[in-house]
Structures are given as structure tokens and as C-alpha cells.
Chains A and B, each alone.
Chain A
């Protein structure tokens, strides 16, 4: 019995997060019943229990290092403790309905400057500027329930003030923010952190009198007087969040100045020099193919092939000292995540990891420049001023071959899907992709009322049955190594049951043609098994009845 009680106690303690190692932060440290509170720490365990005093809180979400929970209803206003397992942290329960603060735009301001707050129940609240116990000034907050702002009274003397946010229900309590009021001066840029940040990565500019709240514009001037530009977010006084221009040259030093929306600038107090960090150079580990005709598509695999921010890699094919830039269809990959430097928090987004199949290897899909003469070329990738070692790609026509055709059968009601024929020597269509700007992008060639690209294709795929003329399939797309084609008749007038010989015919630039067999394609009787119905009807049973 005693053993059972001890075991039960142990289980309960474990469930309560007995191994909690630390509570590092409670955010906000003052909140009202019903508010969500974020605990940061470590060792919270899989199913922590959080107590506000003796009242158990509803856990909204948790991990080993984070808990989001709700302040229990009915708690009295005043100080209490938050307990997780064997650890406690201080907390202050606000009166129900009292304003709560989670963010203040700045801790230092000048008279007349705008300061904004993010929190809860801010609408209609007042801000009392307290010098110790003495109320020096009171202003009304403007704005809404979650975000509101005030202007520091113009006649407020320099000093340190506690701003108590209050409404009819109560006030912000011991979490009331502190604001240091200083006299206005010239915009001055003091530091940019962290040092030697990489192109495209976030940096935090610190200084004083850094313009009014909002956007500002930074000029990064190199040693030759050429300027690069970024925009920044200024908190109105001492912080500007921005990033190193992604075009910035690795290792280069720039003079940085900031211009603000009110016309002020740090130029008057002098530019600050900043040396850009040097990223790891791009490295090509593999080409999808190392040969193919001009105009064909090839994927480049490697590391550091994409830069941070909006850096766009450049791919060049070089022979005999002459370089030709290739069109990049797409590029994706990753760079080391942030977390510091301006509060940036960005790494590999879920979309890339999942939706686009990023597997740790960067990829760039390029078109071999269509005007290249046959021969061997060095392929290089340049990003953020760094160029990879070259790999060799041989430009030249490949022999017509067919290595596979899939699927190679269908049911009597039509093809299961698009037939994919793989091989080489299918030729390059007479169209190309270009990179266009944003909303102006679109189809720049072709008859919008016609079959897309039909006149640009170089291949025909035919199905030859036991009798009659060969029937031509409907080519959806092709490139030098792949053809996507719908068998003749599609689903509207499907091929009769039987066996067909499929052939690929390529039209060469000189007008001549060449044909290769792709194999046998079978149109089965009804009930021949799965995969022979309509698309989306994998059994094909219903329509085969």
C-alpha cells in the first residue's frame, strides 16, 4: 500500500513536470484572468502542469521549452507565483479587464515622439507618466484594443518615467513600462550588429534620434561611390531593423547612412562603415546531366547555391574566355537560420521542406543557353559575389533513344493518365522561358485560342495498331529527354482494344526527321484490372461495367 502511494506520487510529480530545469521568462509577467501567458524555460516535459498559486492553468500548447497557458479565472489581483513542477516564477495578476502590455516600441524617446504599445485592452486607456510616485503628465492612448500609441508630451522634461497604462478596470501594475525621455538631437548611427553579417541577412542598427517610427531608407556606399539600398524599420529613436543588401559583395566595406521619412538623415553626423561577411562559396556537387543540346534543361545540385534574402544565383556557361549567362527557371535551397541580429527568425520554411521537397541539397534548374555552339563548357554558379568551381557540360545533340514509356497500357475507356516517354534526342522546343517582372509576367508568345505550344514542338508520337494509319497522340510538353503525351483519342474517343506500336518522330532543324520505337502499348478489355479506368478512378471498375 505504501509502495503504491509512493509510486502514484511519483507519477503525479512527473506529470507536473518534476524535471523542469528552469523557467527563464514569463511573458507577460502581468496579465489578467483568461489571458494567455507564455513560459519559456527547459525541461517542462511532455505533459506539464502549471499552477498559478494553487490554481491549475489550462495548457493551450506546450513543448519541453515552451508552455502557453491561460491565467485561471477567479484569481485575485496581486502578486502570485507560477509553478511548473518544482520550479516557481513570479507573476502579477491584473484586475480583470485591466490593460496588459507585451511590447513597447522603444525604451527611449524625445518629447513629441510617437511610442506604440502592443498588448490587450488598450483601447480608451490612459497613460500616466510617473516620476517615482508623482504623476507628471497624463495622455490618452489612441488606437485599438491590441495596438495603441501615444505621443510623448512636448513639455515633458528629460528623465526616466514609468508609464502606467490604466482603464476603468485597473492598471498595468508592476509591468508598466519605463521610458527614458531625452532631448532631441541629430540622428546618429552608432553601431550595426552583428558584425560581418552575410548579404541578405538581418542587422540591427543602433543609435540615437533615428527618425520617426516607420520605414526608413539605408544607403550602403562602396569604395567606388556606388550605392546599394535597403529599407529599414525604425522604432523612432534608437533602433533600425534592416538587412545587408543581398547584392553586397562578400568581404567588402560599405559606408552606411540612413534617411528618415521626416527628411532627417544620419549623414550629418557621419556614415558608419560596415564590412560584409563572407559566406561559404557555392559548390556544385552534381549536374543532372553533363551533356545535352543548347536550349535543354538541366538541374544543378550543390550547396550554398542560393543566397539569403532575395539573392538570385547567376549561372554561366564559359568556353574560350567567353561566358554566357543561363536563364534560371527556379532555384531553391536554404541558408543557415537566423534568430539573432535584429530579432530575425528565419530558416528553412516548412513550405520548402515539405511542399517543394527540399532535402538539404540546393537546386537550380537552368536552360542551357540556346545560342551556344557545340563543345565543352565550364558551368559556374555565382551568388553574393562568390563563384563556384566549374563543372563541365558538353553541348551537343544527343542521339534519338527511348529508354522508357510509362504507363504502357490503358483500359477501353481511355488512358489512365499522361504517358511519359523518357530518352534522349527529342529536341528542344522553339520556346523559352524568360524571367519577367512580377505582375507583368505572362505568356509572351503563342495563340491564346490555340493548342498551347503545338507549333513549337519538335516531336510527334504515333500509335500504330493492327490496321489503318498511325494515330497521333497529343503532346502536352517535351524537352530533349522527356515527352508528355496523351494517347490518341484521349477519353473522348479512346483507342480500340488491341496492341499498338508507339513511335517517336523528331523533326530536325534541317527539316529531316528521325524515328525511334518507344515500345508496345496495350489497350485492354474491360475488367482487365486496376489502372485502366478514368483518371481518379484507379479501379476502373465502375466505368468498366
Chain B
């Protein structure tokens, strides 16, 4: 009789693909190498899981990062400003940890950088960071 212990494929894939997923550490350490505002970061990702791209401004002095401003993407190319409803909410800690790792080590190479991350559910997602 064989028994089965399952492991999450996505968790393993996180190791494989060099995803930033995982740890939930904050943005401590060196300040990010980005322009204008050292305390916040603008990213584009599907924050609410509706398969639309959202524009999210994060407070990176908190751990995990919390939402400062949020524009939910709408089908057809429009945004809905939901800042009042979601301000102060922490984002997925795994995504936050990945972003913190990236921001802490970034050298401001590109204006727009795509990161593969794995969220806490083990699902892969791609986040665009504007530096």
C-alpha cells in the first residue's frame, strides 16, 4: 500500500523559476534605489484577483507592505479608484516579501521591471514595478 504526501507544485516551482515569492520580510535595510519617494512604491498587478491589472501604491515602510492608494483596473481600459475602501490593508505577505527583496537589492536599472512572484496560496503571479 502506498501513501501519498502532496507538496504544492507552485511552491516547488517558486524555487525553480527564481521567483521572488516566499518570505514576508519588510523593506528594512538600505533605502530603495528609486526616484522621487523612498517610502512608497507603485506597482501594477492583479491585486483583487479579477484578472484585471490594478495600479497600487504601497507603503513600503510597513511589513508587509500596505496599500496607500489603489486603482482597480476595469475591463476595457479604465480604472476605479478604490483607495478609500482598501487603504491600510496589507498585501499578500509573500508578494510583499518578494517586493521587499527586490526593492532592497534593486539598482534602479529599469523604469519598469517585471517580477515573477508566488503568492501565499502558491499561485504564480507577475508584478510590474515602476521605479
Contacts and interface: CB of A to CB of B under 8 A. Distances in A.
A370 B2 CA distance: 10
B5 A431 contact: yes
Given A142-B81, A144-B71, A349-B20, A118 B42 contact: yes
Given A310-B17, A331-B16, A438 B9 contact: yes
Nearest to A340: B110
Interface string A443-477: 11110000001001000000000000000000000
B2 A65 contact: no
B22 to A, nearest CB: 6
A292 interface: no
A309 B124 CA distance: 10
Contacts of A79: none
Nearest to B111: A103
Interface string B11-33: 11101111110110000001111
Contacts of B76: 212, 261-262
B3 A68 contact: no
Given A331-B16, A345-B113, A214 B52 contact: yes
A350 B115 CA distance: 13
B4 A431 contact: yes
B53 interface: yes
B27 to A, nearest CB: 13
A146 interface: yes
A404 to B, nearest CB: 27
Interface in B12-68: 12-13, 15-20, 22-23, 30-38, 40, 42, 44, 46, 51-53, 55-57, 68
A430 interface: yes
B15 A28 contact: no
B85 interface: no
B18 A233 contact: no
Nearest to A71: B36
Given A68-B31, A213-B77, A144 B69 contact: yes
Contacts of A261: 52, 75-77
Interface in A417-438: 430-438
B112 A343 contact: yes
Nearest to B73: A214
Given A345-B109, A432-B3, A445-B5, A36 B36 contact: yes
A334 B1 CA distance: 37
Contact of B10 (A68, A432, A438): A438
B6 A310 contact: no
Category for how many chain A residues contact B: 35 or more
A100 B37 CA distance: 11
Contacts of A90: none
A539 to B, nearest CB: 31
B77 A345 contact: no
Interface in A291-323: 306, 308-313
A236 interface: yes
Contact of A435 (B12, B44, B116): B12
Contacts of A439: 8, 121-123
A348 B128 CA distance: 18
B18 A436 contact: no
Interface residues of B, number: 72
Contact of B69 (A61, A65, A145, A343): A145
Nearest to A371: B2
A16 interface: no
Interface in B54-112: 55-57, 68-71, 73, 75-79, 81, 83, 101, 105, 107-112
A226 B126 CA distance: 25
B38 to A, nearest CB: 5
B18 A442 contact: no
Most buried by B among A31, A38, A213: A213
B53 A144 contact: no
Given A36-B38, A435-B7, A343 B30 contact: no
B57 A145 contact: yes
B76 to A, nearest CB: 5
A236 B7 contact: no
A129 interface: no
Contact of B114 (A143, A200, A202, A211): A202
A432 B5 contact: yes
A262 B71 CA distance: 19
A432 B4 contact: yes
A68 B104 CA distance: 13
A517 interface: no
Contacts of A202: 114
A231 to B, nearest CB: 8
B68 A233 contact: no
Given A149-B71, A352-B15, A31 B36 contact: yes
A342 interface: yes
Given A144-B83, A442-B6, A68 B109 contact: no
Contacts of B31: 60-61, 68
A47 B129 CA distance: 28
B18 A334 contact: yes
A440 B11 CA distance: 12
Nearest to B116: A346
Contact of A441 (B6, B23, B113, B126): B6
In the A-B complex, the 3 residue pairs with the closest CB atoms: A212-B77, A445-B3, A144-B69
11 contacts: A38-B33, A68-B108, A144-B71, A145-B69, A212-B77, A213-B53, A233-B53, A261-B76, A311-B17, A329-B7, A439-B123
Interface of A: 27-28, 31, 35-38, 40, 60-61, 63, 65-66, 68, 100, 102-103, 113-114, 116, 118-120, 142-147, 149, 151, 200, 202, 211-215, 233, 236, 241, 261-262, 306, 308-313, 328-335, 339, 342-352, 355-356, 370, 430-446, 453, 456
